[in-house]
Amino acid sequence: MKTAPINKDLLISYLSGSMFEGNVIVSQTVDSTNRALKRLASEGAPHGTVLVTEEQTAGRGRLDRKWTSSPGTNLLFSVLLRPEMKADQVFVLTMIMALAAVDGVKQACSLSARIKWPNDIYVDNRKLAGILTEFSVKNKKLVYVITGLGLNVNWCPEDRQGMRYPCTSILKRIGKKIDRTELLASILQNLDADYKKFFFEKKEALYKRWNSLSCITGKQVVIKSNEQTIEGEVLKIGIDGSLIIKTSDNQEQKILCGDLSLSLV
Ligand code: BTN
């Protein structure tokens, strides 16, 4: 269901004093906000650039899947970050984005959502949002990271379209249309605050929060990648954004996000 367009001036006013100040791009149509931001990053766009669009013609998810969204209905955006961190810790940024999205949805829509490692936000066993984090590395150092969020606000794909998982939207859960500018501002304000906490003050507090919001802790899961299939019970999400599981031979195993899929047993 189409709603008022994203209001750039209002969004900018909400983001004053944050890392996004002065770096907000609102577009009508792009191929993919992640892809477009990658192009801008390679041209030198600064840390904190955010690109939000009303429509994507080639929206992408993890594992080369498509991300579909009806124009003018949902949130589709990516942020460009240039953190000083090791490349193998980059997926902590997915967790920081997930936390910001869950908190933003709670504050702006009074809806409680949960984090499904490695990159999803769920409400009542249905997918509400997905995160795609991509990055560029040179001489083992991160050059930039792009983390993009697709959040079903006023529309979600119908189950009959052959979705791999059941989906939902904020409209479906709370029964009323949501102003996307307010919601986006809330998510970005949380992202700004959480990013600064993680890098400059209280890593521990964030780590505890994303664990308390995890919807797979204690569950039995199967994780498949090109190299291997591992089954075990989820113990926690690590401070580096990895998943810690206990396998049937009582071994703790740390799984870094990558090209893998996770399913519940
Ligand atoms: C997934 O569930 O696999 C991740 C989906 C991520 C979709 C968002 S929409 C905004 C940004 N641009 C993209 O092309 N993908 C992400």
Q: Are residues 146 and 225 in the same domain?
A: no
Q: Are residues 51 and 157 in the same domain?
A: yes
- Alpha carbon distance 191, 96 (integer Å): 7
Q: State how many domains the chain has.
A: 2
Q: Are residues 23 and 111 in the same domain?
A: yes
Ligand 1 centre distance from Cα of residue 218 (Å): 27
β-strands 252-255, 260-264 pairing: unpaired
Examine residue 3 and state whether it is found in any structural domain, yes or no: no
Q: Are residues 232 and 200 in the same domain?
A: no
Q: Are residues 138 and 257 in the same domain?
A: no
Ligand 1 centre distance from Cα of residue 167 (Å): 14
Q: Are residues 228 and 174 in the same domain?
A: no
- Structural domain for 256, as ranges: 220-262
Could you tell me if the CB of 32 is within 6 A of ligand 1? yes
DSSP conformation class of 205: H
Q: Are residues 233 and 189 in the same domain?
A: no
Q: Are residues 186 and 60 in the same domain?
A: yes
DSSP for 118-164, written as a single string? TTEEEETTEEEEEEEEEEEEETTEEEEEEEEEEE-SS----GGGT-S
Residue 126's identity, in one-letter code, is R
Q: Are residues 190 and 168 in the same domain?
A: yes
Q: What is the pLDDT of residues 12-66, one digit of tens each?
A: 999 999 999 999 999 999 999 999 999 999 999 999 999 999 999 999 998 888 9
- Alpha carbon distance 123, 109 (integer Å): 13
Q: What is the pLDDT of residues 152-208, one digit of tens each?
A: 999 988 755 566 788 999 999 999 999 999 999 999 999 999 999 998 877 899 999
CATH of residue 56's domain is: 3.30.930.10
Name which residue sits closest to atom 3 of ligand 1, judged by CA: 61
pTM of the model: 0.95
Examine residue 176 and state whether it is found in any structural domain, yes or no: yes
- Alpha carbon distance 147, 41 (integer Å): 12
First and final C-alpha spacing in the chain = 35
Q: Are residues 40 and 137 in the same domain?
A: yes
Ligand 1, pocket-test mutation among 132, 155, 156, 180, most atoms within 8 A of CB: 132
Contact 55, 67 (CB under 8 A): no
Name which residue sits closest to atom 11 of ligand 1, judged by CA: 148
